[in-house]
Structure 1
Amino acid sequence: MNNIQQFPFISVSGAPFERGVLYGQQAKERVHGSVRLYGQTLVHLGYSEQARKRLIDFFAKQIENFAPHYVEEMRGIAQGAGVTFEDIVMINARTEVLAKARAEKVEAVDSEPGDGCTGALILPERSATGNLIHGQNWDWRAECVETSIVLRVRNDNGPDFLTFVEAGGLARSGFNSAGVSITANYLESDRDFTQLGVPLSLIRRKVLEQEIFSLAMKAVGTTPKSCSNNIMLGMAEGFGIDFECTTNESFAIYPGEDGLIVHANHWVSEVALGKLVDMGLGQSPDSRYRDWRVRKLLNQKDKLGRADLKAAFFDDFGAPYSVCRPPRLGSHDNLSATVAMVIMEPAVGEMEVAPLPAIHKVFTRYSLKDEPVLVAA
């Protein structure tokens, strides 16, 4: 972790399979890194070869039913990177696989670090530029600093988009040229795996393909899921909303009177808490104060810019169980950390990303139009 590199920038265009091949070729080394991290996950969790095939085939079928061109693109990524299609499905469905193992109380899943995250959205009335600002700290395996990328897709059939994502994945945090932005945080409930649905990474991708914000909300709110998740959406025209999602229902959280949405890894909606049980606080008890800290810090100023959101996300209160998590040992010697800080201003088509921000406060500015440039914190 001493020689921290900025996240590579991959830009692709063309038909789904064609751009998948280009993606796989350009990100080949990092895709192989993702495969090493996740390719053997099902083996480690005790799945037999037959059971592994059955689960991967199920998710591939769900993806194909949801959007066939995602399967084409994933096959292209596999070909371009020289890995199997099943490996790419596993990268895109790893949240579901790990959550399923956790729900089934598979002992080996305890070796996985907590998939944290603290997200925030600033409405234009609180923004110094008058533009919506949307960001997130992504907490997960520290090794993913070496397997993540920023992907730009020039889309023939929809808006162009920019996404920070694990190599081989189709989307994570990002925004599109129509001004729709998305971040997502881990949640857990007692409804998880009462059904199986579309992998969350593909729902995020679906959001980034929408030119109309209401259709982005529909993709989040109505797509069946295998497990819970929190999804925050922004609209460059001046609106934001957060959806606490379980398998078959979503609960909307609107910006407060302070013009902010802040969310960590516990359920907040009173309606949701009246219907389900939060099962995730044992994994991330620090969630209780992470969102409180970010809101408190942001509300110290009237008008807020990207630098202010960065400063709130750099917060080390409660370290190492802090908003900005330094690399720390988890179970079985896994390193857990804030892998990336992502700050987006969709109206100007820019995203700033810093790898391992607790120890490396250097950002790269990525753009829908221009080449990446280094910027100060």
Structure 2
Amino acid sequence: MTNVQQFPFVSVSGTAHERGLQYGQQAADRVRGSTRLYGQTLINLGYSDQERNSLIGYFAKEIENFAPHYLDEMRGIAKGAGVDFQDIVMINARTEVLAKARAEKVKQADQEPGDGCTGALILPERSANGNLLHGQNWDWRAECADTSVVLRVRNDHGPDFLTFVEAGGLARSGFNSAGVSITANYLESERDFRQLGVPLSLIRRKVLEQDIFSLAIKAVATTPKSCSNNIMLGIAQGFGIDFECTTNESFPIYPGADHLIVHANHWVSPVALSKLQDMGCENSPDSHYRDWRVRKLLNTKEKLERQDLKNAFFDTFGTPYSVCRPPRPGSHDNLSATVAMVIMEPAVGEMEVAPLPALNRVFTRYSLTEEPRLSTPF
């Protein structure tokens, strides 16, 4: 077994600034790692200092208009970790930055690894214990296995939540104490960057702050975005829905007759495909079989457990362009890989996460109420 370091656990509480300060202090090394990874991204893509400051300033203003306490939290993270505030904004807006560079046909942007993902949601009708299960493989830079954390937020003005996230970011995959869960997958269309909107990471964070599911849906479906994205939502009480989102429109996908939702990185909504062009498959052609493989494997059993979801996400068909990607050479001296496998069961307040699952099958179990512990190895 390859010795892969498990993701650190960060637990915070208090005001937005206090939470950010605690976050930055507890995860300082990893936050600095994220800033090194992304702090020079715009410069590497050919942006001048003035252009870089203008773009980051724009996203900071959008964040302030959307939820000003997020900027308070980011300033706290920057102070706690001893990094520049602009670098924290950049971490939270890096999807938009890279997608914008691609939309503008910046040559270096095409050399970046695909920000892929394969996500799945299992409704209680298919779950062995009657609880909704929700999970994802996150495909990105292998280096992010050393710059990501699991963050628990004790929230005085909303539900507590757990999120797996790049250090310095406010949210990625996660769930809250009201039972709302979220994962997201990269999509691309010709509508991207006809407008600029709220960074996707902050929309995910907004979802996790909702104790009413319809308000979580509203945050996903109605918030203006800069680029396309697929966002999968679940609620522990027994419902799930997927939204393929453009900058100004969203297309719902409901569970099928098999009580599953599975999604990778290509558009599947017939309505969406009648109205826009899928621009992302050039960078992730494997998407067309990754979601098919996960659904096929899940449908080999009538009743499903967490382990069955893990088994599907460990699939190696088409390797190294598989559901579970081993590290392979990317660009700019980086590696592309499945950085993490995330398995959530919101009804019991638990999330299991394995770093670099193609190399490591040891999970850490994180909880809304308990301290982390290693899960039984696969």
TMscore range, shorter length? over 0.9
Paired residues of 1:116 and 1:186 also in contact (CA < 8 A) = yes
- Rounded to whole Å, the distance in 2 between the matches of 1:193 and 1:360 is 38
Correspondence for 1:363: 363
- Name the amino acid aligned to 1:264: A
RMSD: 0.9
Identity %: 81
SS at match of 1:271: helix
Matched AA of 2:172:
R
The code of the aligned residue for 2:128 comes to A
Shift of 1:332: 4.1
Contact 2:225–2:248 (CA under 8 A) maintained in structure 1: yes
For residues 152 and 129 of structure 1, the distance between their equivalents in structure 2, rounded to whole angstroms, comes to 25
Partner of 1:63: 63
Specify the alignment match of 2:38 in structure 1. Answer: 38
Q: Is the 8 A contact 2:2 2:359 kept in 1?
A: no
Report SS of the residue matched to 2:53: helix
Q: Distance in 2 between matches of 1:338 and 1:152?
A: 23
Calculate the TM-score normalised by the size of structure 1.
0.99
SS of 1:331's equivalent? Answer: coil
Counterpart code for 2:275? K
Give 2:234's aligned residue.
Answer: 234
Is the Cα–Cα contact under 8 Å of residues 63 and 198 in structure 1 kept in the other structure? yes
Q: Secondary structure at the match of 2:275?
A: coil
Kept after mapping to 1: 8 A contact 2:3/2:360:
no
Measured at CA, do residues 217 and 110 of structure 1 come closer, stay the same or move farther in structure 2, by a change above 3 Å? Answer: same
Partner of 2:91: 91
Partner residue, 1:181: 181
How far apart, CA to CA, are the structure 2 residues paired with 1:37 and 1:112? 12
Asked if the contact 1:111/1:334 (under 8 Å) is kept, the reply is: no
- What's the CA shift for 1:333? 3.8
The secondary structure found in structure 2 opposite 1:178 is coil
Q: 1:248 is matched with which residue?
A: 248
Aligned amino acid, residue 58 of structure 1: Y
Q: Which aligned pairs between 1:143-182 and structure 2 lie closer than 5 A?
A: 143-182=143-182
After TM superposition, the structure 1 = structure 2 runs for residues 218-367 of structure 1, keeping only pairs within 5 Å, are 218-367=218-367
Task: Give the structure 2 partner of residue 75 of structure 1.
Answer: 75
The separation in 2 between residues aligned to 1:254 and 1:201, in whole angstroms, is: 23
Letter in 1 for 2:318: G
DSSP-derived class of the 2:326 partner: coil
**Deviation of 1:110 (Å):** 2.1
* Aligned match of 1:116: 116
Instruction: Deviation per CA, 1:211-231: give whole Å up to 9, x if none.
Output: 000000000000000000000
CA distance in 2 between counterparts of 1:63 and 1:108 reads 27
Q: Distance in 2 between matches of 1:363 and 1:327?
A: 18
3-state SS of 1:124 partner: coil
Give the 3-state SS of the residue equivalent to 1:274 in structure 2: helix
Question: What per-residue deviation string (whole Å, max 9, x for no partner) do you get for residues 319-347 of structure 1?
Answer: 00100000011234420000000000000
In the alignment, the residues of structure 2 paired with residue 300 and residue 115 of structure 1 have an alpha-carbon distance, to the nearest angstrom, of 29
1:138 deviates by 0.1
Report the alpha carbon displacement of residue 271 of structure 1 after superposing the two structures with TM.
0.3
> Which one-letter code corresponds to 2:66 in the other structure?
F
Q: Corresponding residue for 2:204?
A: 204
Residue 49 of structure 2 aligns with which residue? 49
User: 1:132: Cα distance to partner?
Assistant: 0.2
Deviation at 1:36, TM superposition (A): 0.4
Determine if contact 1:121/1:262 at 8 Å carries over to the other structure: yes
Contact 1:134 1:181 in 2 (8 A): yes
Query: Whole-Å Cα distance in 1 between the matches of residues 282 and 333 of structure 2?
Result: 19
2:170 alignment partner AA: L
| CA distance, structure 2, for counterparts of residue 302 and residue 3 of structure 1 | 35
* Structure 1: distance between partners of 2:260 and 2:276: 25
SS of 2:144's equivalent in the other structure is helix
Question: Whole-Å Cα distance in 2 between the matches of residues 340 and 133 of structure 1?
Answer: 17
In the TM superposition, what whole-angstrom CA distance separates every residue of 1:75-98 from its partner, at most 9, and x where no partner exists?
000000000110000000000000
CA distance in 2, matches of 1:279, 1:249: 16
* DSSP 3-state at the match of 1:342: strand
2: distance between equivalents of 1:138 and 1:332? 20
Residue 160 of structure 1 contacts residue 176 of structure 1 at CA under 8 Å; is this kept in 2?
Answer: yes
In 2, the alpha carbon distance for the partners of 1:366 and 1:127 equals 21
The amino acid that maps onto 2:31 is: V
Instruction: List per-residue Cα deviations over 1:66-117 (Å, max 9, x = no partner).
Output: 0010000000000000001100000000000000000000011122101110
**In structure 1, distance between residues paired with 2:69 and 2:173:** 20
3-state DSSP of counterpart to 1:105:
coil
- Structure 1 residue ranges (4+ consecutive) displaced by more than 3 angstroms after TM superposition: none
